[in-house]
Structure 1
Amino acid sequence: MPADQERQIITDIPELLLENTIGRQLTAVATKFPERVAVQTECIRLTYKQLDQQSDALALGLSRLGLQPFERVAACLGNLAEFVVVIYACAKLGVILAPLNPAYTEVQLISALNHISATCVVLSTETSLPYKAPRLAKVHFQGVVEKEGRSKNAPSLKHVLVINNSTTQCDREGFPGALWYDELLEKHHGQLFDQSPILKPSDIINIQFTSGTTSSPKAACLTHTNILNNGFLVGSGMKLTELDVICCAPPLFHCFGIVLGLLAAMVRAVLDSVIKHQATALYGVPTMFLAELAELPKRSARDNLFLSLRTGLIGGSAIAPALRQRLRKELHLSSLLNIYGMTESSPVVCMTRLDDEDEINNFTVGSVLPHTEIKIVSRDRSDQTLLRGQKGELLMSGYPLMKCYWNDEQKTADAFVVESDTSPQGSGSDQNLKIWLRSGDEAAMRMDGTIEITGRIKDIIIRGGENIYPAEIENFLLQHNLVNNVAVVGLPDDYYGEVISAFIVVQEHVTIPEGQAQDGLTIDLRENSKGQACITADNISHEKVLTSGDIRDWVRTRFSRNNIPKFVFWVSRMPLTASGKVEKYKLKDIGLKALLRLEEVRL
């Protein structure tokens, strides 16, 4: 076998990359398809021509306020059609847009504005958040602006632009000194904005605050080339055309939403949007798809409601085969494609294909996208590339890599591996250095070049010296018909070093035995029981009570005793990042506090 097939390294380089800026690309699309719908929400419908015109008007308005290319504009918004206009207006003007989570507290908002030295922040009068009543922007506005309209906590801030999306009459007097989006658009309506010739595809145009599973987000800097080509190549892999309608549930302030889709919908509105607009593609992460499946029983059972769907994207965390089977059966998503990547890679580097077999879809994230290179290296030595089939850290290289973390040289240096380019195209000299981005994920490359992600390196549980992979246990537990969601983490143990702990969200109408609730959080801290009968799918099909013993016995039917959870935690819902990933560090905190309480009781 040739050496390049034995090593875990693969590159795919077909046609040329797009060499354009996002703003100019929009104008080109609007010229070709002026009357096609670009964005549609419950309240607003914009064609490509209207989107191009409105983003011109807003770019002109921002320019006349004094905003210059490469200054930073923060947008703390929910999924609004106006958000899309803001995105393209900033791209045309050349200012760097930093989308922020609208659930940010005042302290988080101020911290983000100061970190990037934002000149302008865009707010809306109302923001809808999951599980909460709409939030009024006055809370954010008053946190950053004094009565005379100047910032009291963010010295760089000069302008606050407010979008009126209130369903009732808006109290504009409550926003002293604010600029109003609708007034700025009306003032410059119909005027063309001349995009600056100094703007280049390699310029930074977007700052993404990462929503990874750690408690410390970083500000990744992405370019026109990063974003434009990633969206284009993923769309090509899905075989999207101008006739497709994308329903994109991920929030627009996250890289998944901005790059891969611009049709906004919250979880409960997703199914309505698919039906109403006859969507052909549906985007989401596993937690979103689980929420959509949970919503189905509340609706009509007619089988033809979702026949318009033909494809979609799922990513953000491990995808259980059981979930894929349910989506195929209940939402007719027979061509749902897996994607893999990270915010720092714009975000997608691997993807399954429409003609891939079920086995590849069920157990891999597909193969590398064009113009991207990946390799698997030793977890301890990044210069040692492993053989195919061996597990190590996944590294990636090519056009999608971020330029840096904003204003953080140390974190940037930690994220990259720099080596001499010894490829036929490179000279191997210091002048030809190759940059690799560390993923933090453990993976293995199959002989056919497809990639298996075996878990976050930091999440792997080491129990008595043995590596335990949480994803394997999670995927199996999701096959239990009384389990809605699950996360497995490691908790410290004096004897084994770490032990397995399972956090379970049960299906609706499933109950937990009395006595397993503690302090408002349903937790069972009883140690692993022994000698109980194994439970199979057949004899629990009508069961509506679930115990920790049932969970352990279910795992025992598939895995050895080393993989059985010592502790079971019952939770009402998982703590999630903005992109729908489970924040396992928060679950560990919950577990540690519960174990401390248990120790106090024993003492």
Structure 2
Amino acid sequence: MIEKTVGQIVRDMAHSYGDVEAYVYPEHQIRKTYREFDQETDDLAKAFIGLGIRKGEHVAIWSDNKREWLLSQYATGKMGAVLVTVNTNYQQAELTYLLEQSDATTLILGEEFKGTSYIEIINAICPELSASEKGNLQNSKLPHLKRVIVMSDNDYPGIFTWSEFAAYAEQVSDQTLEEQFASLHIDDVINIQYTSGTTGFPKGVMLTHSNIVNNAQLIGDYMKLTEKDRVCIPVPFFHCFGCVLGTLAAVTHGATMVLLEQFDPLKVLRAVQDEKCTALHGVPTMFIAELNHPEYHTFDTSSLRTGIMAGSPCPIEVMKKVIHDMGADEITICYGQTESSPVITQTRPDDAIEKRVATVGKPHPGVEVKIIDPLTGQEVASGEPGELCTRGYLIMKGYYNNDEATEAAIDQEGWLHTGDIAVMDEDGYIAITGRIKDMIIRGGENIYPREIEEFLYQHPAIQDVQVVGVPDAKYGEELMAWIILKEGSALTEEELRSYCRGKISHHKIPKYIEFTDAYPMTASGKIQKYVLRERSLEKTGMKTS
């Protein structure tokens, strides 16, 4: 295990690969070496200290993948403030909840995101802001919140501009920073990442330097990353995919980060081509959007070697296209969750192709995994489905200010219960078949949506498919498939059912089929199945209220 803080990793890379590009923003023509990156984050760490922010204080950050977000991640990693990541899609009620629940003393924010004014939202939450002295906000609902910083030099009442914030570095000596840097411990919490909150309120996952540095190191090792790699990262920083599998996995190996502020398939393809990226990250829906873009074939992706597909179950057919069409023949699949820092298992480039496309690989070194019967708690036999549990260095310190939820997630023996249904084969490879709450029970038969989705993906007209369960008076539940067709393709419900007959069991053929143009998505690119279930109830007339 690596016994280093996030900040020590940056300094190590500056020493070893000082002239290698640390990050590139193609859309802004910004390029910085590791030596420059180290200096930038030292300066910003001093600005945090100069502003009065202390080790252990909670600093919330709310924007898309701006350069200021990246620098803040590693500057706080050097001076010990805890970075609290905020979902870019949050609105007023959600932001209020997060700031209150996290006890954040500081909020760093962008001006807007996709037409939503973040400035208007924070002023609605804190009407006192406009009349406040900068850095001295008084709000009874959020008693801890004192400072708001905007990622621009536009002046807003009560809010520090980025330049005003950065200037506080001048008040802090190098020695003061070094003393604070040296005081950090690998088991200190350095990130609080909020879960999506699809059931109940979001929970703040407390992750330490040790959690995320070691996880990132192993992720990059599995990808065979070196200082010669260039990793395209279009996934959001606020999610662990962006800031651990993305930036930190690159930084731990001295690789270059090629960054996009927001996902756009055309910008991704252009960045891969122009920057000669060797790795590309994305959730399955991102890869699907890239592969199906009308201009896809005009771009050269031959520089690609690896990357990560993760965030939700990865369709086998999509994996095959990324390997064979895009040329990322060493791409890996990662599986995990925020509570496990986040990666539990990962495929290796030298795994057999069947294992690489049909499983999520084996557990990382130092990670224990067991598959249990969720009712009895007993381990199940090889090949039998059950709940995946994991234990090791990667487990979060707990949910912030939520002991009850922590105790529900981590048992007395230290096992994190993921809530995911998994099957482990005789070779130790794991396949994820869905969430326990997503399993469909039709007439006493357990049906896993993933199995049906994988089968339907093979139809030549289908671009994407999601299967959910809906109530049924006779069988308890029936299947409903939501299908996105490829551009220019046509398919009827009856044609699809005919395709299924004789190929899969009758009870696995969806009773309901709905064609759609898009799925409800989270800001991190995950499909919101619970929203699809709600829509399914409406479509089938099963919604009671």
Q: TM-score, structure 1 length as denominator? A: 0.83
* 1:177-228 residue CA offsets vs partner (Å, 9 max, x unmatched): 1112233324536963323433210111101111365464221111100100
Instruction: For residue 197 of structure 1, give the secondary structure of its aligned residue in structure 2.
Output: helix
Judging by fraction of residues, say which structure has more helix. 2
Q: Which residue type is aligned with residue 93 of structure 1?
A: M
Q: Moved runs in structure 1, 4+ residues, more than 4 A?
A: 597-600
Distance change in 2, residues 1:300/1:567 (3 Å): closer
**Pair 1:230-2:225 in alignment:** no
Alignment of 1:187-586 (within 5 A): 188=169, 192=174, 193-194=177-178, 195-211=180-196, 214=199, 216-262=201-247, 263=257, 264-265=259-260, 266-268=263-265, 269-295=267-293, 297-301=294-298, 305-382=300-377, 384-419=378-413, 435-509=414-488, 544-586=489-531
Q: Which residue type is aligned with residue 572 of structure 1?
A: D
**Pair 1:66-2:49 in alignment:** no
Structure 1 residue 20 displacement after superposition? 1.0
Instruction: For residue 177 of structure 1, give the secondary structure of its aligned residue in structure 2.
Output: coil
Distance change in 2, residues 1:103/1:506 (3 Å): same
Structure 1 residue 479 displacement after superposition? 1.7
How many Å separate the matches in 1 of 2:3 and 2:544?
A: 61
Equivalent position of 2:74 in the other structure: 88
Q: Which residue type is aligned with residue 374 of structure 1?
A: V
How many Å separate the matches in 2 of 1:209 and 1:453?
A: 23
* 1:311-360 residue CA offsets vs partner (Å, 9 max, x unmatched): 11111222222111221232112111111111100111111111111111
How many Å separate the matches in 1 of 2:101 and 2:386?
A: 34
How many Å separate the matches in 2 of 1:301 and 1:23?
A: 41
How many Å separate the matches in 2 of 1:213 and 1:581?
A: 11
Structure 1 residue 450 displacement after superposition? 1.0
How many Å separate the matches in 2 of 1:179 and 1:361?
A: 48
Distance change in 2, residues 1:212/1:275 (3 Å): farther
How many Å separate the matches in 1 of 2:327 and 2:20?
A: 26
* 1:509-559 residue CA offsets vs partner (Å, 9 max, x unmatched): 3xxxxxxxxxxxxxxxxxxxxxxxxxxxxxxxxxx3222222222222421
Query: Mean Cα displacement is larger for which, 29-38 or 338-347?
Result: 29-38
Query: Mean Cα displacement is larger for which, 462-471 or 208-217?
Result: 208-217
How many Å separate the matches in 1 of 2:38 and 2:77?
A: 12
Q: Which residue type is aligned with residue 469 of structure 2?
A: G
Alignment of 1:122-161 (within 5 A): 122-127=108-113, 129=114, 134-145=115-126, 146=128, 147-149=130-132, 150=137, 152=139, 153-161=141-149
**Retained in 2: the 8 A contact 1:211–1:578?**
no
* 1:31-77 residue CA offsets vs partner (Å, 9 max, x unmatched): 22122111111212222122221222222112122111111000001
How many Å separate the matches in 1 of 2:110 and 2:540?
A: 42
* 1:394-439 residue CA offsets vs partner (Å, 9 max, x unmatched): 11000010010111111111101223xxxxxxxxxxxxxxx10001
Instruction: For residue 412 of structure 2, give the secondary structure of its aligned residue in structure 1.
Output: strand
Instruction: For residue 459 of structure 2, give the secondary structure of its aligned residue in structure 1.
Output: coil
**Retained in 1: the 8 A contact 2:269–2:296?**
no
Aligned residues with identical type, % of pairs:
39
Q: TM-score, structure 2 length as denominator? A: 0.91
Q: Which residue type is aligned with residue 35 of structure 1?
A: D
Aligned residue pair count = 519
**Pair 1:38-2:3 in alignment:** no
Q: Which residue type is aligned with residue 347 of structure 2?
A: T
Instruction: For residue 182 of structure 2, give the secondary structure of its aligned residue in structure 1.
Output: coil
RMSD over aligned CA atoms reads 2.0
Structure 1 residue 259 displacement after superposition? 0.4
How many Å separate the matches in 2 of 1:396 and 1:51?
A: 35
**Retained in 2: the 8 A contact 1:280–1:308?**
yes
How many Å separate the matches in 2 of 1:458 and 1:151?
A: 42
**Retained in 2: the 8 A contact 1:125–1:136?**
yes
* 1:271-308 residue CA offsets vs partner (Å, 9 max, x unmatched): 1110111000111111111111122x225536xx1110
Question: What runs of 5+ residues in structure 2 fail to find an aligned partner?
Answer: 248-256
Structure 1 residue 155 displacement after superposition? 2.2
* 1:224-282 residue CA offsets vs partner (Å, 9 max, x unmatched): 00100000011011110011000012100001110011343223321111011100011
